[in-house]
Amino acid sequence: MNRPTAASDPDRATPMMAQYIEIKAANPDCLLFYRMGDFYELFFDDAEVASRALGITLTKRGKHFGNDIPMCGVPVHAADQYLQKLIALGHRVAVCEQTEDPAEARKRGAKALVRRDVVRLVTPGTLTEDALLSPGRNNYLAALARSRGGDGGDDYALAWIDISTGEFRLAASTAERFAADLARIAPSEVIVSDAVFADPALKPLWLGLDAAVTPLSAAFFDGSTAGERLAAYFGVLSLDAFGAFSRVELSAAAAALAYVEKTQIKERPPLSPPIAEAAGEAMVIDAATRANLELAVSVSGSRRGSLIDTVDHTVTSVGARLLARRIAGPSTDLAVIGRRLDAVEWMLDDMGRTGAIRDQLAAAPDIARSLSRLSLNRGSPRDLAAIRDGLRAASALGAAIGGAGDPPSTEIANAAATLAETPGDLVDALAAGLADDLPHLKRDGGFVRPGYDRDLDEARRLRDESRRVIAGLQATYAAETDLRTLRIKHNNVLGYFIEVGAGSADRLMTAPLNARFIHRQTLASAVRFTTSELADLEAKIAGAGERALALELAAFDALAARVIAASATIRSVADALAVLDVTAAFAVLADKEGYCRPSIDGSLAFTVRGGRHSVVEQAMRASAAGPFVANDCDLGPPAGENAGRIWLVTGPNMAGKSTFLRQNALIAILAQAGSYVPAKSAVIGVVDRLFSRVGAADDLARGRSTFMVEMIETAAILNQAGPHSLVILDEIGRGTATFDGLSIAWAAIEHLHEVNRSRALFATHYHELTALAHRLARLDNVTVRVKEWKGDVVFLHEIVCGTADRSYGIQVARLAGLPAVVVERARAVLHQLEETDRKSPVDTLVDDLPLFSTAQTGASAEPETDAVADMIDGIAPDELTPREALEALYRLKTARAAKRE
C-alpha cells in the first residue's frame, strides 16, 4: 500500500522523492539508508520495517500522492550499531551517500538536488567493520556452483571469501559432500544460482543453514566467462599462475567475486589469489555431527562450552580465527599434521620462551582486518596505527625466534622467515606520520604527528594562533565594555560569538558600543553578539582548519596507499602471526591440561589410553565436581582382520556413555587439527570422515519428527561411512517403539560391521544387542561400571569389557526424586516384565535370523544373578528408618514371589 510508484506520476513526487524512488527501485531487496545530512533516513515500507526492528520512532516526512510518507532515521555516527542489528535479523542494507558537495549542487541552481548514489550493499557475508564482526571468527561469503552432469551426477564447487581478511579459497565438492563442506566453512551468507535455489531437493538444506542464502541470476555463475572475470579482477592475463581449476570451480569463484563487486560497488578489496583446496584435505564432518559434538557452539547455542571455546588459548584475533578453522576442518594430511605437532612440541620445549612469544603476539592488533578496511576506503587513523603496531611486533618476533637457541621446527621456521621480511620502512613511515593519540574518524583530523608535514604545521599554527587571539579578545572586550561577565563562546550554529547576560545587553545595543557589537541572538537569559574583528578571525581559523584537515587527509591517503601497496606482505605476516599464536596456544593447552602428543599414521588404529573429554573435564574442575575418570578405547583391527572394531557400549543412564563416545571423537579432531590430546597416549589412523549422531534429538524447528531426523541422519552415515571413518552412534533407535528401535539399531550395527567396516562406538540401552558380539567378529561389548550401594546406584564412569547386567533405570529415577510409591510400583512392574521376557528371550531371535544361524546361546546359559540375595546384601539395617525397613521387607517379598513364578 505504501509502496511508491514513481512511474505512475513522477510529476507529483518532489524531486527528492523522485530520486529516492529511483534508487530504491534499483535495490528492491535492500533497506535503503538514504543520506540526509547527519542522518540516514528510511522511507515507506523500509521505515516501517526498520523502526520495528530497531525500536526507533516512526514519523512522517511530507506527502506522496496525498499520503503521509512514513520515515525513520539513524544518526550517521551511530550507523554501525543499527546496521549490526538489521544484518543480524537477516536484512540487507543499501547505503546511499551524497556523492557531491552540497555547494556543488547549489551551483546548478538554488533548488538543485545533491547527487546521491548507493556506495555499498551491506549483506551478512560482506562486512568489514569491527562493530559488525566477531574478532575470533572469519566472516565468509560462500558461492556454491553446480554443473549438471549426465548420468555421472552433478559436479559441485565452493568458493569462499572473507573480505575482512582477504582470504579467498575454493574447493571441488560433490552432491553428497557439499553440505558438510558448507558446515565446515560456516559462511554467514551463501550465494547460489536461482536454479539451484529453486531445486526442491535442496530446499531443506537452505532452511537448515545458519546463513543467509541469496539466490542470484545465472549470469553470476556463467562458467564460460568465469576465467576472464577472475583474471580481470586480479589483473593477470591468465589464471594458470594460480593453478588449474575445473569449470565449475571457476564458476563458483567468479560468482563470489562478482558478488563482492556488486556489494562493494566501486571498491575492490585486495583478495589473495584463490587457493584451491584438494578434495579430502580436511576431515569431512557434517553439520549434525558438528552440532552434536558442540565443536563451535554448545547445544545452548552459545560459544561457551563448545570445544573451540574450551581449547582456545590464543592471544590474537588472527590466531583465534585460524584455531577455529583448524578445529572446524582437521587435516587428513599426515605431513601437515606432523609439522603442526612438531611445532607445538618446539613451543613446549621451552615454555618460558613460548610465554615471551605470546607477550609479543598479544601486542599485535588485527592487521588483516585493518588492511581490508584501509583498502576499501573505510579505514581510520587507528587502522594505520594497527598496521604500524602489528608489523612492529611481527618483526621483533621474527628476530627473537630467529635468534632462539634450538633450531625451530619447519612450521615455526617458515613463520619466522615471513616475519623477518616485515617491511621496516613502512613501519618507520607510519611511526613518523601518526600522532600519539588518534581519533576514531579521519574526518576529525588531529592524527598527523607535529613535525611530519611543514605545510600542515603552518596551517595548524595559524589556526591555533587565531584561537589564542580570540581568547585575548575576551579580556579586551570585557575591559572596553566594563562587563566582567562577557564571554566569547563557540557553537556549531553560530560559530564564535560574544555572550552577555540579558541585563547587560542594552549597553551593547546602544551608542557608542552598538557601532561595534552586532546583535545575533536573544535567549531568555543571555544575548549574543559578534564583531567584524571576531568574524575575520573566525574565517581565518576556518580557512586554516580546512587547509589543515585537507593536508591531514592527504597524508592519510599517502600512508594508506603505502600500506595497500604492501598488502600481500602484510597478509602473509598476519598468517604467520596466526600460525605462531595457534601453535603457542596449543602448547599452553597441553601444558596446563596435561595433554599428550598423539601419534597419527595411515593405519586403521584407534588406541587411546587414559582418554578424557576436554570440555567435561574442565567444567567438572571449575565446579569442583570431582575428578574426571579417564578411559581407554581401542577400535583398531583385531589380529588377522583388516577393518576396525565396533564397541557396543551399554550401561545405565548417567553412567557416562555419551561422554565417552564424544571424547574419542574430539580426540580425533584435536589430533588432526594439530593439537595435543587429553589422554596418556593416543595412536590414531587418520580419520577421513567423522559422524556423530544422537537418538531422538529434537528438531521441531525444521518441522520434522525427531525420529525422522534420526533416521535421515543414520541413513547418511550408513550410505557414506567407510573403513577410515569414525562413527559415533548414541542411542540410535530411541525415538520409536521398542521393537522398531531395537530392530533398526540391530540392522544398523550389522551394516556398519559388514558394509561400512568403519571404526565405531555405539551406545545403546537395548541390552539385547550385546548378543550380536557372538556373531560379529569385530564387535566388542563394553559397559560403564556402576556399583550398587544401599539400593542406590553409584556411577564409577569406568569403561570395562562386558555387558551391563541391567539398566538401573529405576534406581536413577529414584535418585532423580520420583515419589517412593511410584518407584516401588515401577519395581513391581519391572519384575513382571522381566519374567515375561525371560520366557521368550531375544537370544532365540539371534538363532532364528539367517545371518546368525551359528550364534551361540551362551548368553541365556549364564548363571542368573540372585536378585533377592543382592537386595539383602544392599540393606544396611543400622541406617534404615522404621518405615524404610518396612518398605525393604515388602520389596523382598515381591522379588521372592517374582522369582518363584
Which residues of this protein are in contact with ligand ADP, per CB under 6 A? Answer: 616, 628-629, 631, 651, 653-659, 797
> Which of the listed partners (Mg ion, ligand ADP, none) does 797 bind, with a CB threshold of 5 to 8 Å by partner kind?
ligand ADP
Instruction: Take residue 755 and report the three cell numbers written for it.
Output: 558394509
> Which of the listed partners (Mg ion, ligand ADP, none) does 656 bind, with a CB threshold of 5 to 8 Å by partner kind?
ligand ADP
Q: What is the CA radius of gyration of the chain?
A: 36
DSSP H or E stretch at residue 762: strand 759-763
> Which of the listed partners (Mg ion, ligand ADP, none) does 133 bind, with a CB threshold of 5 to 8 Å by partner kind?
none
Q: Going by C-beta distance under 8 Å and a sequence separation of 6 or more, which residues neighbour residue 449? A: 432, 433, 434, 435, 436
> Which of the listed partners (Mg ion, ligand ADP, none) does 831 bind, with a CB threshold of 5 to 8 Å by partner kind?
none
39-43 and 93-98 strand pairing: unpaired
DSSP-derived letter for residue 201 is T
DSSP-derived letter for residue 753 is I
Site for Mg ion in 374-393 (CB under 5 A): none
Identity of the amino acid at 769: L
Judged by CB, which is closer to ligand ADP: 371, or 629?
Answer: 629
CB of 658 to Mg ion, least distance (A): 3
- Among 237, 242, 239, 233, residue whose Cα is nearest residue 262: 233
CB of 651 to Mg ion, least distance (A): 9
Q: CB-side exposure of 838: number of CA atoms within 13 Å?
A: 13
CB of 623 to ligand ADP, least distance (A): 9
Judged by CB, which is closer to Mg ion: 354, or 803?
Answer: 803
> Which of the listed partners (ligand ADP, Mg ion, none) does 381 bind, with a CB threshold of 5 to 8 Å by partner kind?
none
Judged by CB, which is closer to ligand ADP: 142, or 654?
Answer: 654
Judged by CB, which is closer to Mg ion: 92, or 657?
Answer: 657
What is the four-CA torsion angle of 33, 34, 40, 41, rounded to 10 degrees?
-100
> Which of the listed partners (Mg ion, ligand ADP, none) does 292 bind, with a CB threshold of 5 to 8 Å by partner kind?
none
Question: What is the chain's length?
Answer: 901
Residue nearest Mg ion by beta-carbon distance: 658
**What does residue 510 show for φ and ψ, rounded to 5 degrees?**
-120, 165
Does the CA dihedral 676-677-678-680 come out positive or negative? negative
At residue 166, the 3 state secondary structure works out as coil
Site for Mg ion in 658-677 (CB under 5 A): 658
Over the window 642 to 661, marking each residue x when it contacts Mg ion by CB under 5 A and - when it does not, the resulting string is ---------------xx---
Judged by CB, which is closer to Mg ion: 658, or 781?
Answer: 658
Count CB atoms within 10 A of the CB of residue 438: 18
- Among 251, 277, 253, residue whose Cα is nearest residue 177: 277
Residue nearest ligand ADP by beta-carbon distance: 656
> Which of the listed partners (ligand ADP, Mg ion, none) does 628 bind, with a CB threshold of 5 to 8 Å by partner kind?
ligand ADP
Q: Going by C-beta distance under 8 Å and a sequence separation of 6 or more, which residues neighbour residue 481? A: 500, 507, 508, 513, 517
> Which of the listed partners (ligand ADP, Mg ion, none) does 629 bind, with a CB threshold of 5 to 8 Å by partner kind?
ligand ADP
Judged by CB, which is closer to ligand ADP: 633, or 655?
Answer: 655
Distance CA 473, CA 389 (A): 44
Distance CA 416, CA 191 (A): 38
Count CB atoms within 10 A of the CB of residue 509: 14
Judged by CB, which is closer to ligand ADP: 575, or 617?
Answer: 617
Count CB atoms within 10 A of the CB of residue 163: 28
Judged by CB, which is closer to Mg ion: 118, or 709?
Answer: 709
CB of 795 to ligand ADP, least distance (A): 6
β-strand partners of 501:
526
At residue 231, the 3 state secondary structure works out as helix
CB of 730 to ligand ADP, least distance (A): 7
CB of 181 to ligand ADP, least distance (A): 30
CB of 655 to ligand ADP, least distance (A): 4
CB of 744 to ligand ADP, least distance (A): 19
CB of 629 to ligand ADP, least distance (A): 4
β-strand partners of 219:
none
Distance CA 32, CA 4 (A): 13
Judged by CB, which is closer to ligand ADP: 612, or 831?
Answer: 612
> Which of the listed partners (ligand ADP, Mg ion, none) does 654 bind, with a CB threshold of 5 to 8 Å by partner kind?
ligand ADP
Instruction: Take residue 446 and report the three cell numbers written for it.
Output: 588531529
DSSP-derived letter for residue 22 is H
Judged by CB, which is closer to ligand ADP: 534, or 694?
Answer: 694
Size of the site for Mg ion (CB under 5 A): 2
> Which of the listed partners (Mg ion, ligand ADP, none) does 655 bind, with a CB threshold of 5 to 8 Å by partner kind?
ligand ADP
Judged by CB, which is closer to ligand ADP: 282, or 782?
Answer: 782
CB of 378 to ligand ADP, least distance (A): 47
> Which of the listed partners (Mg ion, ligand ADP, none) does 616 bind, with a CB threshold of 5 to 8 Å by partner kind?
ligand ADP
CB of 657 to Mg ion, least distance (A): 5
CB of 730 to Mg ion, least distance (A): 6
CB of 301 to ligand ADP, least distance (A): 19
- Decide: 16 and 34 in contact? Cβ < 8 Å: no
155-162 and 275-277 strand pairing: unpaired
> Which of the listed partners (ligand ADP, Mg ion, none) does 20 bind, with a CB threshold of 5 to 8 Å by partner kind?
none
Distance CA 689, CA 184 (A): 12
Site for Mg ion in 762-791 (CB under 5 A): none
- Decide: 343 and 407 in contact? Cβ < 8 Å: no
Binding interface with Mg ion (CB under 5 A): 657-658
